[in-house]
A and B are shown apart, each in its own frame.
Chain A
Amino acid sequence: MNFWEYLESRHQQLLTDAYQHASVVFQCMVVATAIGVLIGILTYRSEWAGSLATTVTATLLTVPALAMIGLLIPVVGLGVPPTVIALTLYGLLPVVRNAIVGLRGVDPALVDAATGIGMSRLSRLVRVELPLAWPPILTGIRVSTQMLMGIAAIAAFASGPGLGNLIFRGIASLGSKNALNQVLAGTLGIVVLALLFDAAYVLIGRLTISRGIRA
Chain B
Amino acid sequence: MPEPETTEAGRTSVGAPIELEGLTKRYPGSDRPAVDNVSMEIGAGETVVFVGPSGCGKSTTLKMINRLIEPTGGRIRIGGEDVTDMDPVKLRRTIGYAIQASGLFPHMTVAQNVALVPKMLRWPSARVRDRVEEMLDLVGLDPGEFRDRYPRQLSGGQQQRVGVARALAADPPVLLMDEPFGAVDPITRDHLQDELIRLQRELHKTIVFVTHDFDEAIKIGDRIAVLREQSHIAQFDTPEAILTNPADDFVSGFVGAGAALKRLNLTRVGEVTITDYPTVGVDDPLDEISARLRSAGTDEVLVLDKQGRPYKWLRRGDIVRAQGSLARAGVLVHDTVTRDATLRDALEAVLTDNTGRVAVTGRRGAYEGVVDVETLMNSVHELLEADRLEARESQAGLEEQRAAQTHAEQEGAHPSDAGGEAQA
Contact = CB atoms under 8 A, between A and B. Distances in A.
Q: Which of the listed residues A109, A112, A117, A132 has the most CB atoms from chain B within 10 Å of its own CB?
A: A117
Contact of B90 (A110, A118, A128): A118
Q: Which 5 A-B pairs have the closest CB atoms?
A: A212-B150, A113-B103, A118-B93, A210-B107, A118-B92
Interface string B87-126: 0011111110101110111111100000011001000000
Given A117-B117, A118-B89, A118-B117, A112 B108 contact: no
A119 to B, nearest CB: 7
A79 interface: no
A212 B151 contact: yes
Interface string A193-215: 00000000000000000111100
A120 interface: yes
A131 interface: yes
B150 A117 contact: no
A109 B107 contact: no
A116 B89 contact: no
A27 interface: no
A210 B116 contact: no
B167 interface: yes
B166 interface: yes
A139 B90 CA distance: 36
Given A109-B100, A117-B167, A118-B92, A213 B117 contact: no
Interface residues of A, number: 19
A47 to B, nearest CB: 16
Contacts, number: 68
Given A112-B68, A212-B151, A212-B152, A118 B103 contact: no
A96 B253 CA distance: 52
A109 B105 contact: no
Contact of A109 (B63, B99, B116, B120): B99
B106 A212 contact: yes
A114 B92 CA distance: 10
Interface residues of B, number: 30
B89 A210 contact: no
15 contacts: A112-B68, A112-B103, A115-B68, A116-B63, A116-B68, A116-B97, A117-B116, A118-B117, A128-B105, A132-B105, A132-B106, A210-B106, A212-B150, A212-B151, A213-B107
B342 interface: no
A124 B116 CA distance: 11
Given A123-B120, A132-B105, A212-B152, 18 more contacts: A109-B100, A112-B68, A112-B103, A113-B97, A113-B103, A116-B92, A117-B92, A117-B93, A117-B167, A118-B89, A118-B91, A118-B95, A118-B117, A119-B116, A132-B106, A210-B107, A210-B108, A211-B150
Interface in A96-137: 109-110, 112-120, 123, 128, 131-132
B66 interface: yes
B108 to A, nearest CB: 7
Contacts of B106: 110, 132, 210, 212-213
A118 B117 CA distance: 7
Contact of A116 (B66, B105, B108, B152): B66
A95 to B, nearest CB: 20
A212 B109 contact: yes
Interface in B291-311: none
B180 to A, nearest CB: 11
A110 B105 CA distance: 7
B60 to A, nearest CB: 12
